[in-house]
Amino acid sequence: MSLEQRNGTITASLGNVLTEYLMDVTLGSSAQIVQVQLSTGTGDTWVMSASSAYCQQNACDLISFDPTQSSSFKPLQFAFNSTYHDGAGSSGIYFADTLSIGNVALTGAVLGLANITTKSVMGLSFTGNGADSLAGPLPPGYPTILEQMVTQSKINSRAFSLWLNDREASAGSILFGAIDTGSFVSPLLSIPMGVSTSIGYRYQFIVGLTSLTETTPNIVVPYTSGNFSEQVVLDAGAILTVVPDDIFKTFETRYEAAYNSTFGFCTISCEFMHYQASFHFQFGGSAGPLINISLTELILPEVWTNGTDCAFGILPAYANNGILVFGDSFLRGAYVVYDLDAMQISLANTKFNSTGGDVIAIPAGGAGVSNITPTTTAATTTVSTIVTGVMTAAETSGNFTGGAQNIIGATVTTTGQEPVSTASSGSAIASPTSGSSRAQARAHGSLGFVAWIGWIDLFMLGFVSLL
């Protein structure tokens, strides 16, 4: 995975291994390479100890750290413990050592060395959203990795941009302290970060979802009413996207999506991989960002044992204790800037398979991306015809082969803005056939479906880990 630093920014490649996104870091005087899972739902970063019980029974190359091989390793007299809602967890001790991302070294970085865990994790949330210390207070100061990037003058602000690319891409990227104008379609709009009222940690990467609409070549289907508003958590450590139960019922009706409580995910016919439909997620009201996700991107390619059903990237709220988490199945379609200083989330439609553009550092002081991008007005959408209910024969006819439709149906009129810098402009309604048919090799190879579903709960990391 290639990494670099440029003009007070740090870029890291994120390897897509189907169930998670991995980033390479190096640790200690011996520069041991460790692959850490990205999580935006916790402030803790920890690595698996090479002497852990898991590593005694499994190959741990590239996912564990051996402190005996680092002369700069300094154990701290504090223990940590993280427990997830499914009963899994991590525990061990805190330590300090040199942590490098590419050629950028953080000296004396504080993180956890886990003796009980099955993974290594890079947490990018707030300081308070970390593990509970078994020994009392956390290590003095205990800054997150993102905060240490700022205090050691590697980046200007506690902010990072996430670009995951499409579901078949072998890698996405994360950009610390900056945005890449070539990786999104304008406008890039900012909305205030929400405040949690239901959990013990006040600040999370929460945004207000205010509407959801589906368009096909023939109709427009509203999934929400005019007064709809729900807080959702944008968590890159989660695989699936959890929606309110009433919204899921519409998915259930239109696509016969079925929740499998045994495996903890939903199934959908693989034939819908060829169906032309796009979902439009509106955040922060009519003036906020409108993110367009094709149905194709929401259907995961892993096939169920009967050979006809695929995994669906949508999950009902009742299957996740009522917590609405928008994970990778949504985030792949969005370019997201998480700004902890400005307390804002900025969103734009992603530009799949981008080769990049102008990288612009976010300045210090909490001004956010508004200080580096032109003033924009949110896109507006006017729907002239609205149809609800199950799909008609006319609606589905030809869509499975991607054929053009001759039926006159709903029209969607949009207004947008000129692109920021080198980003390409586009309408507010995305093509329902986005995605790619190419096959990409993953770092860990293709996982069998039965094995994959066993990882679902394990890798619903981040926000759920705080419960």
Q: What is the fold, at CATH topology level, of the domain defined by 3-155?
A: Cathepsin D, subunit A; domain 1 (2.40.70)
pLDDT of residue 42: 82
So what's the pLDDT on residue 366? 82
CA distances from 96 to 72, 78, 196, 298, 345 (A): 8, 11, 31, 40, 31
CATH of domain 160-436: 2.40.70.10
Residues in the chain: 467
- Tens place of pLDDT per residue across the chain (467 aa): 334 445 689 999 999 987 889 999 999 999 999 999 998 888 889 999 999 999 999 999 899 999 999 999 999 888 877 765 545 568 889 999 999 997 799 999 999 999 988 889 998 988 766 554 444 455 655 789 999 999 999 999 999 999 999 988 999 999 999 999 999 998 999 999 986 655 544 567 999 999 999 999 989 999 999 899 999 999 998 999 999 999 999 999 999 999 988 878 899 998 898 899 999 999 999 999 999 999 999 998 765 556 678 999 999 999 998 999 999 999 999 999 999 999 999 999 999 998 878 899 999 888 788 777 653 434 333 333 333 344 444 444 434 333 222 222 333 333 332 222 222 222 232 222 233 322 222 233 333 333 343 334 333 443 333 33
Residue that the structure tokens 């190096």 belong to: 26
In the chain, what are the domain boundaries? 3-155, 160-436
Tokens 């819908």, residue located? 272
So what's the pLDDT on residue 261? 87
Q: Same CATH topology for 3-155 and 160-436?
A: yes
Q: What is the pLDDT of residue 143?
A: 85
Assign 220 to helix, strand or coil: strand
pLDDT of residue 129: 61
User: Which has the closest alpha carbon to 233: 314, 325, 318?
Assistant: 325
pLDDT, position 87: 53
Backbone angles phi, psi at 372, to 5 degrees: -130, 0
Q: Is 313 left (phi over 0), alpha (psi -120 to 50) or beta?
A: alpha
